[in-house]
Structures are given as C-alpha cells and as structure tokens.
Amino acid sequence: MQTIPTKAYGASGSILNSLKPMTIERQAPKADEVHIDILYSGVCHSDLHQVKNDWHNTIYPCVPGHEIIGRVIEAGSGVTRFKAGDLVGVGCMVDSCGVCPSCKEKEENYCEGPVSWTATYNGYMKPANEEFNTFGGYSTNIVVKESFVLSIPKELDIKAAAPILCAGVTTYSPLKHWKVGPGQSVGVVGIGGLGHMAVQIARALGATVTAITRDKKKQEAAEQLGAHEVLISTDADAMKAHESKFDFILITIPDAFDVNDYVKLAKRNGVITTVGLLGPYELPLNNMEVAMHRRSVSGSIIGSIAETQEVLEFCAEHHIAPEVQMIKMQDINVAYKNMMDEEVRFRYVIDMQSLKDEA
C-alpha cells in the first residue's frame, strides 16, 4: 500500500528532553478515511505522562498529540461528510470496535472491545500488541477514519480551538452526564489546562462556579474566566467553611493527590468526579465521609465523538476559548519542562508550520 513520508517529533524513550525530529510513514487514505494537513496541535499534560511512561503502557517511538486542527487534503472515495479544504479536528480517538454496547450507544470512549478504543497516538488504549502503534499530531499530516473526524465551527479561532478536542470534551462530558445546570453549585479543582475550560463551561451551563486552587496567583485568572468565587485549598479555615457546599465537584489534578479533603466539600448526594488522574489516589478513600452523606466518587475519561462535536459547537455558541500560548515545534522540550514546573498559563499550542519549514 502507498505510504506518505511524514515529518514528526517524537520520543524514543522515557528520558525528558528526548523529543526530536523523526520521519514516520502514514498510509494513504482508504475509502472511508480522510487525509489531513495539520495546522495546530495542542500540548496536553497526558502527552507528558505518555512520553515519561508514567502509565507503564507507552510504545516507543511515541509521537504525541491528540488535539489536532487541520485542513482536509484528500477524502477517500466513500467519504461523504468532508472534502478537500474543509477545516477539521481530531481528538483523542481514531477508532473503536464499533460493535460493543458502548460503541452502539455512541460512547466510544468506553469501548468494551478487547483493546478498548484506538488512541490517536500510542496505539490501543489497552495495548494488546506492542507492535501496533499510532502516531499523533506532533506531525505534518494524519490519516483518520471519517467517523472520528470533527467539523470545526467557523466561529472558533483555529489557533486556540485545538485544546477543546481534549481539555474541552474531558470536562464537558462529566458536566453534561451529571446534568450540571442552573441552580447548582460546582467546584472545579485545579485551574490548569482542563480546569480553566471547566470553569468556563460550567458557568455557561448556568451553574454557580467556585474555582478551587492551591495557588493564590491563579485567583485573578480564575475570576476572569468566570468563577464566581475562588477557594484556596491550602487555607484550612476556608476549606472547613465550604464543607457540604457543592452539588458537583470536578477534579482536574493530573497527578496523585489526597481526594479526602475534596470529598468533604460535597453536599449530601453530591458527586465528586476525577478526570485528570489515571491511577490511584495518593491516600485511600475514607468511605465514612462518602457513606455518611450518600456522596458519590466517580471518574470520567475524555468524551465520545458526538460529545466532542457538541462541545465544539457549545464553545462557539458561548464564545468560550482556551487560553493558549503558541510555540514552535522546536520548543517542545522546553514546553514540557514548563508544564512540569507549572509555568504554563493553561495550554500550549504548536504552530505546525514551524515543523513544515524545518530543513
């Protein structure tokens, strides 16, 4: 089968500062696939986790990137929704089994097939064959099945839209699932790449939103994003005063943490959902605090293709946009260090023209 040589940046191992130029091969589009020229690629904290092999499932070489904005170069003969020149997006998934109950109910992100859904990079979500790999958006182009390609509303700024495809849908999905809306009190824990989207989305859904952060320097930014109140989690008195206040708490912290302090903030019948952490909490959950108030502690992972299209349109309608810092592809290792040091203001986005121009 014809292949397409593609410029990319990837990691050959888990050592930081290891992302470097490489050439990968894309297969020419099949009848149901779309060939996309990548314009912008968001930099997600999970990219950093994956390169470092924090989840012990990384397949190298690893070419990250699952927040992709681009234009269609070519559509396969059976493609009906897209044509050359269309502005499109690709998020965290590029395939799923299509036949399990979750897939049939259009919740591909909970695919129950033997390897779960196929990630945009790093192969299957549950690797079953280390020889199978996929390469993501830190590259000049990508080929994706039509059913996993998103339309980008014309109202969105394409330079800023990429993080909606992960950070946006990852926070929108649980907010919608638990029917967050007017009259509800919502706490958003962690005001970073995911949290800053959650504050804006929850506010647009009509909830009263409290941004919860340990960093006092983020207070002004959280208020500008639409938070009605900012709670500093290191202030014991303030945390005590907010116990049993929230109907819904969305926790976006990407590393292990103690969930118990946040459980106390939920009302009777309140829900606590963690989206940033894929792994155990730092300390065991104290079920006494859960049981005594019939609270629920839950998790959520990304969102379906339908939800991703929905959040793109929701953000366009409500004038919601990620706050981004544009970088060149050649600056990616510095960007990763800044993410580790928490020195990025919400989200980096790579201008992929910088890679195309690289000699």
Determine phi and psi for 329, rounding to 5 degrees: -55, -35
* Amino acid sitting at position 332: I
Closest of 224, 193, 194, 199 to residue 211, by C-alpha: 199
Q: What integer is the mean pLDDT of 283-294?
A: 97
Mean pLDDT of the chain: 95
The least confident of 88-92, 125-129, 326-330 is: 125-129
Predicted pLDDT of residue 128: 64
- CATH number for the domain whose boundaries are 167-299: 3.40.50.720
Q: What is the pLDDT of residues 133-146, one digit of tens each?
A: 999 999 999 999 99
Please answer whether residues 211 and 242 qualify as being in contact, where contact means their C-beta atoms are separated by less than 8 angstroms: no
Q: What contacts 27, CB < 8 A, 6 or more positions away?
A: 1, 2, 3, 4, 143
Q: How confident is the model at residue 38 (pLDDT cuts 50, 70, 90)?
A: very high
C-alpha 14/C-alpha 2 separation (Å) is 31
Give the CATH architecture of domain 3-164+322-356. Alpha-Beta Complex (3.90)
The one-character DSSP state at 11 is B
C-alpha 49/C-alpha 18 separation (Å) is 13
Is a pLDDT exceeding 80 seen at residue 15?
A: no
The reported pTM is 0.96
Is a pLDDT exceeding 80 seen at residue 267?
A: yes
| Domain range summary for the chain, segments of one domain joined by + | 3-164+322-356, 167-299
C-alpha 186/C-alpha 208 separation (Å) is 6
Is a pLDDT exceeding 90 seen at residue 63?
A: yes
Predicted pLDDT of residue 1: 64
User: Over pLDDT 90: what percentage of the chain?
Assistant: 91
Q: Residue 299 has which token pair?
A: 């998790």
Q: Residue 326 has which token pair?
A: 């544009």
Predicted pLDDT of residue 213: 97
C-alpha 189/C-alpha 297 separation (Å) is 14
Q: What is the pLDDT of residues 319-329, one digit of tens each?
A: 999 999 999 99
The one-character DSSP state at 124 is B
**DSSP letters spanning 53-83:** TTTS---SSB-----EEEEEEEE-TT--S--
Sign of CA dihedral 306, 105, 107, 113: negative
Predicted pLDDT of residue 130: 62
Determine phi and psi for 321, rounding to 5 degrees: -145, 145
